[in-house]
Amino acid sequence: MNDERIYKVSELNRAAKRLLEEGIGAIWLRGEVSNLRRAASGHLYFTLKDESSEISAVRFRGRTDLLPTPPLSDGMEVLAFGRLTIYAPRGRYQFVASIIQPAGLGALQAEFERLKRKLNSEGLFSPEHKRPLPRFPERIGVITSPTGAAVRDIISVISRRWPLAEIYLFPSQVQGEQAPEEIISGIEAAQRFSTTVARLDLLIVGRGGGSIEDLAPFNDERVARAAFKCEVPIISAVGHEIDFTIIDFVADRRAPTPSAAAELAVPNRPEIAASVAEAVARALRGINQRLERSSRLLESTLRGYIFRIPIRRLETAAQGLDLRLARLGRATREAYLRRARRLELLSERLRLVDPRLPLARGYSITRKRGETRPLTSAEGVGIGDVLETIVEDGRIISEAKEVTVEDR
């Protein structure tokens, strides 16, 4: 016995504590809460148990402040992250938890990651499907609860920043079992409105903050696919600053809060007014610079040779004008004479071919009455035919009594 080491109780507890902490380290532990109590110091003491065993556990207040713990109650199943240790003064074996969350959250997170990988592989998150937001929207659709703070925040921000925009609310539940169906119906209703009534420039879909269970409708696959098919650009506005939901990845733009979505959706009127004023000022400066350059060019031109002896230049121009006018007069007279001679020639030709000219010299034209072709032979006349003879000053109607054809 003299060769064997004798431990003090405190030494044994410290050795066992070191073995537990170094040998097992930090772990996740799943169990049911029982015997929950909160000490005056703010520390939480409880037991974690399963169907056959239990272990004492503690959650210290300082860590609770850094990583908030959901409200616990006896019978609640939780996932706890921490380390095994021994409370040396009493030799108590216990589990010191640093993170506690309801056990269901682990399953929700796993389903979230599975759906995220699936939709990403199908291309629903691809950047090439993201549509740009209009810079100056005229009509904005909002899909959210009609009684929540989110819709009031969106209306307030848009009205302040860009009062020209019209806001159309498509009410929907944003929490609970019916929420996914109502959100999908809201997206479809907004699409129909944009197609048949008035074109919507963009949609804001979202709600205020909440727990992971509250945000579950926005992690629904059906909602994600409806948002992807919508032809109106969508801004997701689910009020969770750090974490993402599935609709955030599908939407054309993501905003951390409804108010931020409203700011993203519309320009700021004072900023636009200032930008317009600056553009006008730049334009005026450009005009003034052009006027100054033109003025300098005009002054330089007036000081030139042509303006220093204007009379000489005017005399030279006048002489040139006289020469051009003289040439123009001669050309006009020559053209007139040529046309007059040609007119006389054509008139004479026309006179010579006038069929009435032989009539004036005693000739006449005879034809059968009712015909237009003159008679050139007696063979074409029969006894009793009525003949019409045209002389210079009239017509003679006669009847053929005798017709004689002479040999030629």
HEC-encoded secondary structure of the chain: CCCCCCCCHHHHHHHHHHHHHHHCCEEEEEEEEEEEEECCCCCEEEEEECCCCEEEEEECHHHHHHCCCCCCCCCCEEEEEEEEEEECCCCEEEEEEEEEEEHHHHHHHHHHHHHHHHHHHCCCCCHHHCCCCCCCCCEEEEECCCCCHHHHHHHHHHHHHCCCCEEEECCCCCCCCCHHHHHHHHHHHHHHHHHHCCCCCEEEEEECCCCCCCCHHHHCHHHHHHHHHCCCCEEEEECCCCCCCHHHHHCCEECCCHHHHHHHHCCCHHHHHHHHHHHHHHHHHHHHHHHHHHHHHHHHHHCCHHHHCHHHHHHHHHHHHHHHHHHHHHHHHHHHHHHHHHHHHHHHHHHHCCCCHHHHCCCCEEEECCCCCCCCCHHHCCCCCEEEEEECCEEEEEECCCCCCCCC
Domain ranges of the chain: 9-107, 124-129+136-270, 358-399
The verdict on domain 124-129+136-270 having CATH code 3.40.50.620 is no
Is the entire prediction scored with pTM above 0.85?
A: no
Q: What is the pLDDT, as a whole number, of residue 310?
A: 62
* Fold that domain 9-107 belongs to in CATH: OB fold (Dihydrolipoamide Acetyltransferase, E2P) (2.40.50)
Residue 125: the pLDDT is 96
**pLDDT, position 312:** 65
Q: What is the pLDDT of residue 48?
A: 93
pLDDT at site 257: 92
pLDDT of residue 300: 77
pLDDT score of 212: 73
pLDDT at residue number 141: 97
pLDDT at 65: 46
pLDDT beneath 50, residues of the chain: 64-66
Q: What is the pLDDT of residue 112?
A: 84
Structure confidence at residue 1 (pLDDT):
52
